[in-house]
Structure 1
Amino acid sequence: MERKLIVVLGGGESGIGASLLAKKKGFTPFVSDSGIIQNKYKKILIENKIPFEENGHTEIYKKAIKVIKSPGISRKNSLINKINFLKIPIISELEFGKSYLKTSYIIGITGSNGKTTTSFIVYKILKKKGIFVGIAGNIGRSFSREALKKEKDVYVLELSSFQLDDVFNFRSNIAVLLNITRDHLNRYNNNIEDYIFSKFKIATLQKKEDFLIYNYDDPLIREGLKKYKIQSRCIPFSIKKELRLGTYLKWNKIFFRKENEEKYILNVKKVPLIGDHNLYNIMASITISEMGLLKDIQKKKSIISTTILRLTTLEHRMEKVLNINGVQFINDSKATNVNAVFYALKSMISPVIWIAGGKDKGNDYSELVPLVKEKVKAIICLGKQNDKFVNFFRDIIDIIVETESIKKAVRMAYILSLHGDNILLSPACSSFDLFQDYKERGNKFKQEVRNLFYEKKRYFF
């Protein structure tokens, strides 16, 4: 039995998906987590009779034929070093899932920001077209869990840098590189070159018949294209430059050009998602829809435009919660890096009370300074270690308040607000100091806003 033992490191979504797939394929999975496994995942393990351990790793890995590593565990972890020393193969959950799919076409989407929105748009377009499509990766359901089902013709995968760190053969038929900004640098020894290398893996593992769709306006991407050997056909998109090939913006309209033929796609003034960041996501999605296996969609342009024009804001991404006595609460909990906050603040017209903070990832807040000076009237720091954040903005904003309570953060922000203000939760940091993830942070924010609304309603009525 031990010769079929697979140890899965990490009891989150990735690890659960890998263990379920391993069991289905005849292996004996064992899940090991250094922390506490969430109850919803424990229930799945127990129901499927998959043994597990939590709050620490025993040496059971020494008996494994292979180890499947969840992306949240760094390859520099001491346990990983021990496993490597014993020459036990370590594979990623992504590559494990892919190994059991025979003919599927893979669309891999990465970037510091916009991955979820772009993945969702592409998925909606393909589904509308009638293609048998699945969506997985960092977006919610692990690829291995998706591979348990009937094999899809196409998979749209949201891929994080942590997931790409672990792959060595994972090929995307269409790869999308949305942007590269300073993010997760605490994982990369504060070296942005290592982070760029991680992101570019999505392109360097492609073949010459594949496509790389990239943001022409991003200087770090253009620099990487010169530095790394890429075999795939490169198709850019831009909101700043009319391109000879690719998708671009002209006269507030989106066009796609290929082989000197310019095609009008849609008018951006009709798009419900506002902001340059959403425009980039939409243009990347359009470019995907014009390439590769999707070329027949070109004949039905209305599918693309109709899908985009009916889009709604995703949960935890510039999500309007409630307007209480003229003060608009906005949940942007998914904004876990500086660049995402930049676009959030840029889209604000009215004055902002900004709720920010959390676990710093090596952030450089300097690019936010002009927008903060122009639009932010007060900052509520929500986190356990706020020193870096507070020290940076103390000479820029007069009112900075600290708290570890989301309830207090919501109420303090409301006390500081005036009619017409926006209260924006856009943290610029990860959530792990106070919450399990950005979803829990966003959901608790929304609940506290609702609680405040009902309190005010009882008071006035």
Structure 2
Amino acid sequence: MKRLVILGGGESGVGTAILGKKQGYEVFLSDFGKIKNNYKEVLLLNQIKFEDGGHTEEKVLNADIVMKSPGIPDKADIVKKLHKKGIPVISEIEFASKYAKGKTIGITGSNGKTTTTMLTHWLLKSGGLNVGLGGNIGKSFAWQVAEDNYEYYVLELSSFQLDGIIKYAPHIAIITNISPDHLDRYDYKYEKYIDAKFRITMNQTKDDYLIYDADDEAIQNWLKNNKTKAQLIPFSITQKLKKGAYLKDNKMEININEEEFIIETGDISLEGKHNLKNAMAAASVAKLMQIRKATIRESLANFQGVEHRLEKVLKIGNVQYINDSKATNVNATFYALDSMTTQTVWIVGGVDKGNDYSELMPLVREKVKAIVCLGVDNKKIIDAFGNVVDVMVEVDNMTDAVRTSQKLAEKGEAVLLSPACASFDLFENYEDRGKQFKNAVHNL
């Protein structure tokens, strides 16, 4: 019996444990931190051995194969020891894909991947396909492979999940865009991060597809200098394309397999240029999967969007409060500020991942009247924008951030939570940060 050891007792770890047991492995799960009670109950119920609060080396280093949760860096001691012993360390996606009967649509990128993943799933489901949703969101891929029998899986894939693949190949891959993010995990080398994203296409064949943003410099450069066997389907909002998706006279046109699909941009429920690109990518998948045009049109018109991503919370005293907690990097915040049509009080800050704030300068000058810093260490933000805005306030909790913003915002203006940073200094994760923001707004 092969021994499968799992590092990390969160969603992907527990899902992999369930699938591993079903596939006849001897399973052991080890978490350096505390495992949440709901996951402990699942492990106990399924009679899976586990430990938390530290790794017992002799129980980990005797594995035949190890699944490492995406949050654990390669620099962790236990991972280094596994590599030294030559024990394969893979991601949940790699492990689960071996047992998945259905085809996968894999979606990666620095920004827009959650929206694109949810929208793609929505289009395929509306089109009557038997389709699951997983990866970085929702129920883990491995858990679904163990318990559900989907014909297709739409997976949101982070660069960390792609780092741990060996043979995994999605039938359709999407790269929404690439901008510097998580550079702390890639020795602060942008090229390493770009290469990690492109691992999504490394095992694809000529029968597979790669959908990508043709306006993105990092993507274009990689494709010029590297080869993929997949059929290329670009999308663009700046140029007309022979094949793929593009903009023409306020219409989105998609040309795939000699067949054309056209929709007025005003009929798409998601707002903003970046969302137009997300819609192009998702609709390209729907076209490849031969979903009816009327269904695609209808589904693009009634899609509701993603929680914590430019989510309009409430209007109080004619001030619009917007929750963009999911913006954990500068590029995501760029989109948020770009989409603001009024003067804005901007709540920003958290754990900086090597951010360069200079690209936000023109937008901050034009649209931001005051900045509320919400983080343990705000020095970089203060240095960047101290001379650009008139008012700058530091707070260390969400209630104060929202109350301060209310005092600063006037009628017809907006309060935007778009942190451009990770949330781990003051919150559990970006969802917790977003929920606290919404609660604080409702309590005003």
**2-side partners of 1:345 and 1:226: how far apart?**
31
What is the CA-CA distance between 1:258 and the residue it aligns to? 4.3
Q: 1:41 aligns with which of 32, 36, 39?
A: 39
Hey, what does 2:210 align to over in structure 1?
212
Q: Which amino acid aligns with 2:270?
A: L
Aligned to 2:88: 89
Superposed, 1:155-174 pairs within 5 Å as 155-174=153-172
Number of aligned pairs?
443
Please tell me the residue identity of whatever aligns with 2:62.
K
Matched, 1:285 2:282: yes
Structure 1 residue 425 displacement after superposition: 0.6
- Please, which of 395, 418, 422 is the counterpart of residue 426 of structure 1? 418
Aligned residue among 370, 385, 390 for 2:382: 390
What's the C-alpha RMSD, in Å, of the aligned pairs?
1.4
Aligned mate of 1:116, from 104, 114, 117: 114
Report the residue type matching 1:174 in the other structure: I
User: Residue 153 of structure 2 aligns to a residue in which SS?
Assistant: strand
**Quick check: 2:308–2:326 contact (8 Å CA) kept in 1?**
yes
Cα distance, 1:46 vs. partner? 2.8
Q: Which runs of 5+ in 1 are unaligned?
A: 453-461
Cα shift at 1:263: 2.2
Counterparts of 2:238 and 2:302, CA distance in 1:
25
Following superposition, the deviation at residue 262 of structure 1 comes to: 6.7
What is the aligned partner in structure 2 of residue 306 from structure 1?
A: 298
Is the counterpart of residue 357 in structure 1 residue 354 in structure 2? Answer: no
- Aligned position for 1:458: none
3-state SS, counterpart of residue 230 of structure 1: coil
Are the aligned partners of 1:244 and 1:258 in contact in 2 as well (CA < 8 Å)?
no
What TM-score, normalized by structure 2, do the two folds share? 0.97
The residue type equivalent to 2:98 in the other structure is: S
**Aligned equivalent of 1:80:** 79
How far apart, CA to CA, are the structure 2 residues paired with 1:416 and 1:75? Answer: 44
Indicate the percent of aligned positions where both proteins have the same amino acid: 49
Q: Which amino acid aligns with 2:75?
A: K
Deviation at 1:87, TM superposition (A): 2.1
Higher mean C-alpha deviation, range 4-13 or range 274-283: 4-13
Task: Compute the displacement of 1:224 (Å).
Answer: 0.7
Cα distance between partner residues in 2 of 1:128 and 1:264: 17
Q: Distance in 1 between matches of 2:261 and 2:83?
A: 53
Give a deviation string over 1:357-415, Cα, whole Å, max 9, x none: 11111111111100001000111111112111221111212211112211111111111
Shift in alpha-carbon separation, 1:415–1:153, aligned structure 2, 3 A = same
What letter corresponds to residue 413 of structure 2 in structure 1? D
Residues 95 and 170 of structure 1 are in contact (CA less than 8 Å); yes or no, is this contact kept in structure 2? yes
Partner of 2:434 in structure 1? 442
Deviations 1:164-210 (CA, angstroms, capped at 9, x unpaired)? 11112110111101100011111111110000000011122211211
Contact 1:7 1:61 in 2 (8 A): yes
User: Cα offset for 1:29?
Assistant: 2.0
The amino acid of 2:212's aligned partner reads: Y
* Aligned-residue offset at 1:91: 2.0
Partner of 1:333: 325
Which residue is equivalent to 1:230? 228
d(CA) in 2 for partners of 1:37, 1:401 = 36
Give 1:32 deviation, angstroms.
1.3
Which letter does structure 2 place at the counterpart of 1:95?
E
SS of aligned partner of 1:322: strand
| Deviation at residue 44 of structure 1 after TM alignment | 2.1
**What does 1:60-79 correspond to in 2, within 5 Å?**
60-79=59-78
Query: Displacement, 1:97?
Result: 0.8
Task: Give the 3 Å change call, closer, same or farther, for CA 23–267 of structure 1 in structure 2.
Answer: same
